[in-house]
Chain A
Amino acid sequence: MRVLRANPLTLVGFVLVAVIVLVAVVITVAPHLLTPYGSDAPTTAYGQAPSWAHPFGTDSGGLDIYSEVLYALPFDLVIAFAIAGIALVVGGALGLVAGFWDRPGTASGVASVVILRITDVFLSFPSLILALAIAVSLGRGVWQLIVAVLLTWWPYYVRLVRGETLAIKHLPYVTAARAAGVTEGRIVLRHVLRNVLEPVIVYFSLDIGTVLVTLSTIGYVGLGVNYPITPEWGSMIATYATAGITTDPWTVFAPGAAIFVTVLAFSLLGDGLRDVLDPRSRRVLAGAGTGGPTSTSPAERQEEAAEVSGEAGELPAVPLGEGSPAP
């Protein structure tokens, strides 16, 4: 909670994400609460501009765009969480192995080198382009879409988790645990995993947004799911972009705005979290908490930070820098 208070924008992001998830649940469980129209059920209004009855207008086939955007929400969220989630688990596990058991000469050491080389190759492809190429060879469909994006998504988690693992495993308390006879498995579970989790979750929340934008582009190119049979924003845009960007622009802008708001919500949350959890920013913030006289000794800073935080309970984000910079 202190994290959310640190930056008002993070709080905005958090509230937006909560609302979006709530809407997704409601539209799945009780859609009539939010819209009178069923999924893929045409109304009698054709190609109408936004009005009170149809907030986002209708398409030339009579579909209410507002309802369509809402019906696509749960699918988009689930698919984004699925892709980012599986990438996290697979990439994270590989990264953990490559980071923790990387002693050269051992079997696991060789394995970690192989993992890293393969990761490097994948990382040199822009993930969107690679996903597009894979999607071409797999064809259209929900599963094909997930597999295509997933194949390009895992390496980022390998790199992230490996980096964090490397940073943690040489910390004195891990060495101490090993010296105390704690088994390797327990060290990974108790120490490494717990510390890796924080940055990974932050990255994950930002990643949801990136997956959604990528999906929208894949959909736009025409490799997404089959709209309107499966409502999905990217494919919606693709369908209407060719059908009526000039005649019924709202059909394109409504799903586009939906993507924008959803991604912005997750990004505001993730970006704010990253600021607070990023060790570098955190140090800066802690320095600011004591007024940032950094020419004092580190011990002094720590002491003061402890005093301040002990008193105020927590360290909120505090602005740094000059009051009025010269132009």
Chain B
Amino acid sequence: MGRSPSDLAVFVGKRLLQLVPVLIGITVLTFVFTHLSTVNPCNQWFPHSHGAVLANCQHMFGQPLYVQYGEYLSSLAHGNLGVSEAGIPVNPAIVNGVPATLELVLAALFLMIVIGIPLGVIAAQSAGRWADHLVRVFYLSGWATPTYLGAVIAAIYLAPYLGLPAHGEYTNTPPPFRQWTHMSVVDALLAGNLPYTADALEHLFLPAAVLAFINMGIATRMTRSSMLEVIPLDYVKSARMKGLTEFWVMYKHALRNALITTTTVLGVTAGGLLAGTVVVEEVFDWPGIGQYAYYAIGGGGATPNFDGAVAVVAVFAVGVVVANLIADILYGILDPRVDWR
């Protein structure tokens, strides 16, 4: 039985190694997108361009496939994610956008955990009764809300009603301090600027809440079903028999075990949250890669920016893989029965 810190390092290392084939697969798939989706995409991608850009593109597609893939990988390794149709490099936009999106997604995840998991516990405790039905209608409503509709209702109707901003990261941009991390709240905190921190939190709340609401179902449902599995077990009864109140029986003893299975859906959650950012960031004008993707895809009548779109897809894929990795490691830490070696 190995559960010392050094065993944990081995455990994490093994999981990291398992990622390699998936990451290679992702690059192959994105390569297929950029290079093979049409026979000679240059004219389609750059219908209005000419000269160097077009010639460069045409030359690249003259090479054999493996050479193209090699070139693609080496350019990826150099941090070159391509150039937009208008000739603007994709790279800086992604680098600046990822932290903002990460902040939004983490905030949404936080809301999902602090609201969605207790809702699942309540639903399990009252399984088959009205509170259970209410919770179910709540999370299925999130599930059934088209992302755009949810975002737009929050931005146009809810925001004025609650007195919350629904546009960008700060009321006054740019803020009077250095953007160290490109995460609005974190930067304001680092600068020690409390008014801006509060302002950033207010701006963050609505988009995060919309994202959380739409994805709530996964957390709540999983918590409910694993709680239902745990509640009839003897150790829950023996916790009750110690004289603990129902609250502690549920949250210290039952939920602690139910969470072990709930963490496994974290990866699925990441996919939903990231996909949601495309629309939510656009509606709330959040400067992340979701909004970048929206315009790169040609949303709002913009000219499609193919390299940009593929870059975002790749970043999101890596995000999902990393989320799954974290879920896997969390599972190993939460469940004392998992041997780390």
Chain A residues proximal to chain B, CB less than 8 Å: 7-9, 117-118, 120-122, 124-130, 132-138, 209, 213, 216-217, 220-223, 234, 237, 241-242, 245-246, 249, 252-253, 256, 259-264, 267-268, 271, 275, 278, 280-281, 283-284, 287-288, 292, 294-295, 317-322, 325-327
Q: Which residue of B21, B250, B278, B304 contacts A117 across the interface (Cβ within 8 Å)?
A: B21
Q: Which of A127, A220, A318 has the most CB of B within 10 A?
A: A220
Are B247 and A325 in contact, CB atoms less than 8 angstroms apart?
yes
For the complex of A and B, list the 8 residue pairs with the smallest distance between their C-beta atoms, beginning with the closest: A121-B25, A319-B128, A263-B144, A256-B149, A128-B275, A137-B37, A326-B246, A126-B275
Closest to B38 in A: A137
Q: Does B298 contact A (CB under 8 A)?
A: yes
Given A132-B293, A133-B310, A221-B298, are A209 and B143 also a contact pair (CB < 8 Å)? yes
Cβ–Cβ < 8 Å partners of B22 in chain A: 120-121, 124
Main secondary structure of the interface of B (DSSP, over half): helix
Q: Which residue of A125, A209, A242 contacts B317 across the interface (Cβ within 8 Å)?
A: A125
Are B229 and A259 in contact, CB atoms less than 8 angstroms apart?
no
Q: Which residue of B25, B41, B145, B309 contacts A132 across the interface (Cβ within 8 Å)?
A: B309
Given A9-B136, A126-B320, A136-B297, are A284 and B232 also a contact pair (CB < 8 Å)? yes
Cβ–Cβ < 8 Å partners of A264 in chain B: 140-141, 143-144
Q: Which residue of B127, B141, B225, B321 contacts A280 across the interface (Cβ within 8 Å)?
A: B225
Are A321 and B124 in contact, CB atoms less than 8 angstroms apart?
yes
Main secondary structure of the interface of A (DSSP, over half): helix
Cβ–Cβ < 8 Å partners of B306 in chain A: 136-137
**Besides A128-B275, A222-B299, A319-B132, 7 new A-B residue pairs in contact (Cβ under 8 A), listed by A number:** A124-B22, A125-B320, A137-B37, A221-B298, A234-B146, A264-B144, A321-B127
Cβ–Cβ < 8 Å partners of B300 in chain A: 222, 242
Q: Which residue of A129, A317, A322 contacts B246 across the interface (Cβ within 8 Å)?
A: A322
Q: Mark B148-161, 1 if CB is under 8 A from A, else 0.
A: 11001000100000
Are B128 and A271 in contact, CB atoms less than 8 angstroms apart?
no
Cβ–Cβ < 8 Å partners of A213 in chain B: 143-147
Are A267 and B245 in contact, CB atoms less than 8 angstroms apart?
no
Cβ–Cβ < 8 Å partners of A241 in chain B: 148, 152
Cβ–Cβ < 8 Å partners of B274 in chain A: 126, 129
B interface residues, how many (CB within 8 angstroms):
69
Q: Does B233 contact A (CB under 8 A)?
A: yes
Are A259 and B41 in contact, CB atoms less than 8 angstroms apart?
no
How far does the Cβ of B229 sit from chain A's closest Cβ, in whole Å?
Answer: 5
Given A245-B152, A319-B127, A326-B245, are A267 and B144 also a contact pair (CB < 8 Å)? yes
Q: Does B272 contact A (CB under 8 A)?
A: yes
Expressed in whole angstroms, the Cα–Cα distance for A249 and B245 within the complex equals 50
Are A117 and B25 in contact, CB atoms less than 8 angstroms apart?
yes
Are B278 and A128 in contact, CB atoms less than 8 angstroms apart?
yes
Cβ–Cβ < 8 Å partners of A8 in chain B: 133
Q: Which of B127, B145, B294 has the most CB of A within 10 A?
A: B127
Q: Does B180 contact A (CB under 8 A)?
A: no
Q: Does B59 contact A (CB under 8 A)?
A: no
Are B309 and A136 in contact, CB atoms less than 8 angstroms apart?
yes
Are B144 and A260 in contact, CB atoms less than 8 angstroms apart?
yes
Closest to B24 in A: A121
Expressed in whole angstroms, the Cα–Cα distance for A245 and B128 within the complex equals 40
Are B33 and A268 in contact, CB atoms less than 8 angstroms apart?
no
Cβ–Cβ < 8 Å partners of A287 in chain B: 232
How far does the Cβ of B175 sit from chain A's closest Cβ, in whole Å?
Answer: 29
Q: Which of B232, B250, B304 has the most CB of A within 10 A?
A: B232
